């Protein structure tokens, strides 16, 4: 290998291991953590990965491709969440995972460089049960894995002048397909809309004709930039998927939808089906006279 090969760098660690030691005592908690690390190591080995090192409840691995890394990450999450002996007082042990793709320096069976710090930063941003990737990792995924990733936020990273986008892998099938049916799907279900028109601040945005998703939020990299104290940097996205138009919320304060008929829906960290015409409010109910309201129209 060259001095600075490009690899997928993955960190995974046990969430709340301190609590395990408090509840179970040192020996039993250590055995549980070791079992988790062993499962993470096994998933790494099955997917062409190399374990660089383990530190307490954490594992650092590298993989030749981003797909290998995400395959391993999904197996880690599944294996640990399904293990019958990894539960404490009715609560299952969980892990969080972060991954980045980039160059590293290999030296004496260890790795160094900005890519390692970036992957570690992704792990610190992950919550229990999450797999968080950088855009560099997502760009190298297969269409199948890219299809179940979503951008959830942006974050500063030490040593970088620009903020980095965070992507979550929806590794559980129910996560990838979940919807909140607050607005009932009408008789057109199964008929793919040709396009969706969204209007905000005097500008029009069109989905369809080759563009099947767009993002909403206060960060400048969004397709529709909306400012407001209740609006997350990457707040939500609208996409045409599975013959439906979905609004997928990724925010702290949620998204409100009001249909033309007056039906209201609220969604947070979930998705809702859009039909007909209506208004979208980020973080609050949409007001027809407010500058931050987004209007949508589905066209057959």
pLDDT score at 223:
95
**DSSP per position, 250-262:** -SSS-EEEEETT-
Task: Give the Cα separation of 231 and 229 in Å (integer).
Answer: 6
Query: What are the structural domains, with CATH classification, of the chain?
Result: 6-176 (3.30.70.1230), 178-299 (2.60.200.20)
CA distance 161 to 181: 41
Q: Which ranges in the chain belong to alpha helices (H)?
A: 17-24, 26-46, 66-82, 114-125, 135-138, 143-146, 173-177
The overall pTM is greater than 0.85: no
Q: What is the pLDDT of residue 152?
A: 80
Query: Which pLDDT tens digits describe the chain residue by residue (300 residues)?
Result: 445 899 999 999 999 888 888 888 889 889 999 999 999 999 999 999 999 999 999 999 999 999 999 999 999 999 999 898 888 877 789 999 999 999 999 988 899 999 999 999 999 999 999 999 999 999 999 888 887 888 887 777 666 667 788 899 988 754 443 433 333 433 344 456 789 999 999 999 999 878 889 999 999 999 999 998 889 889 999 998 767 899 998 887 789 999 999 888 888 878 899 999 999 999 888 999 999 999 999 998
């Amino acid at each position: 290998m060259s001095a600075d090969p490009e690899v997928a760098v993955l960190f995974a660690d046990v969430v709340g291991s301190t609590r395990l030691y408090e509840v179970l005592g040192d020996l039993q908690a250590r055995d549980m953590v070791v079992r988790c690390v062993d499962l993470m190591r096994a998933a790494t080995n099955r997917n062409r990965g190399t374990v660089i090192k383990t530190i307490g409840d954490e594992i650092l691995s590298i993989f030749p491709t981003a797909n290998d890394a995400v395959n391993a990450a999904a197996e880690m999450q599944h294996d640990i969440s399904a293990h019958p002996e990894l539960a404490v007082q009715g609560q299952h042990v969980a892990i969080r995972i972060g991954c980045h793709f980039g160059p590293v320096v290999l030296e004496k069976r260890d790795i160094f460089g900005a890519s390692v710090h970036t992957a570690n930063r992704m792990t610190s941003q992950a919550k229990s049960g999450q797999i968080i990737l950088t855009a560099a990792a997502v760009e190298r995924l297969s269409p199948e894995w890219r299809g179940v990733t979503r951008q959830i936020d942006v974050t500063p990273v030490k040593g970088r002048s620009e903020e980095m986008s965070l992507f979550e892998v929806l590794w559980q099938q129910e996560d990838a397909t979940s919807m909140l049916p607050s607005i009932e799907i009408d008789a057109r279900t199964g008929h793919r809309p040709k396009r969706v028109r969204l209007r905000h601040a005097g500008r029009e945005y069109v989905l369809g004709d080759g563009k099947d998703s767009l993002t909403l939020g206060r960060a400048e990299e969004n397709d529709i930039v909306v400012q407001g104290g209740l609006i997350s940097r990457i707040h939500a996205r609208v996409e045409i998927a599975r013959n439906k138009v979905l609004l997928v919320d990724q925010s702290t304060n949620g998204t409100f939808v009001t249909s033309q008929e007056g039906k209201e829906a609220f969604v947070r960290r979930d998705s809702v089906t859009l039909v007909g015409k209506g208004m979208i409010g980020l973080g609050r109910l949409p007001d027809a006279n407010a500058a931050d309201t987004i209007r949508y129209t589905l066209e057959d």
